Amino acid sequence: MTKLKVLKQAYLPSQLTEKLKEIYDIYEYNELTSEAFSTLAKEFSIMIANGESTVTRELIKSLPSLELIAVFGVGYDGVDIHAAAEHHVAVSHTPGVLTDDVADLAMGLMLSTSRKIVAAQKFIEAGHWQAGNFPWTRKVSGSRIGIVGMGRIGRAIAQRCEGFSMQITYSDHKVIPDVNYPWVKDIADLASQSDFLMVCTPGNSENKALIDEKILKALGSDGILINISRGSVIDESALVNALQQGIIAGAGLDVFSDEPNVPESLLHCDNVVVTPHMASATWSTRMAMSRLVLDNIAKWVESKALVTPIPEMMAS
């Protein structure tokens, strides 16, 4: 029996890739020559991308038989969904299964940054403890947190913050009826009344550089920024300046504007904790994400339906 040809456009975990190869005839996009791609293009009805992929209008247009883009990740801001819709291409992603891991890391970044855990370890390793105690840090319990984006992940973070007796407010496009925390329309206002500003909003074009100089100034010299959404949501140059000038107290960052390149000015700083876009990278969650990719493709092949279509498809 001939296997269905599937285009693998970006990096996927090896376990998922091996499973896909058992079922489908997988072609690596980056390994295809221009001539080979032109010959095979009309045979690909399914393409698999990841959450950091850039899937352009040109790429979608070059695949005349494309029906589905299956994204390994909850974010799909690199996919031109307008072009996909125009070419009648469905898009799936992997929401829900990574919510807890991302929320857990968000809390870890908040604790690590406010209590300067990484700096404290370096302090011991450098032999400085013998000369005196580590400088005092900032309390988390009972403090104020403003959450930018009250989706699945924002809610999961808020739930964890309740365990720290934190005062929770949020900003979103509008009031969310089943969320009982106070809503603040303007993000600058939210920042001005927060000790921690937690960013977990989608990285779409509307949110590019959403957290800018004005909002960082509103957060203030005692405020800490945490970002587990997308690097594009932060004006990175404004953030660097805010950290260097003491406009804000610190930042915990899992995402950056030009990954895997991280500005040197964000490294080796006692008030900045950085992680390599690893919020959902646990064994259990990545396996669950892999299963969801497989399930979406299988259901599409069987019935032209999806387990987890992107919200724009559900709305339509």
Nearest CA to 286 among 4, 14, 29? 14
DSSP bridge pairs for 72: 50
3-state secondary structure of 167: strand
261 three-class SS: strand
Cα gap 168→166, rounded to integer Å? 6
Tokens at residue 208, please?
């590019």
Contact 224, 196 (CB under 8 A): yes
CA nearest neighbour of 89 among 50, 48, 54, 60: 60
Tokens representing residue 280 in the block: 């959902």
What span, in angstroms and rounded, lies between the C-alpha atoms of 52 and 48? 12
Which residues participate in catalysis according to the annotation? 230, 259, 277
CB 60 within 8 A of CB 89: yes
Beta-bridged to residue 55, according to DSSP, are 79
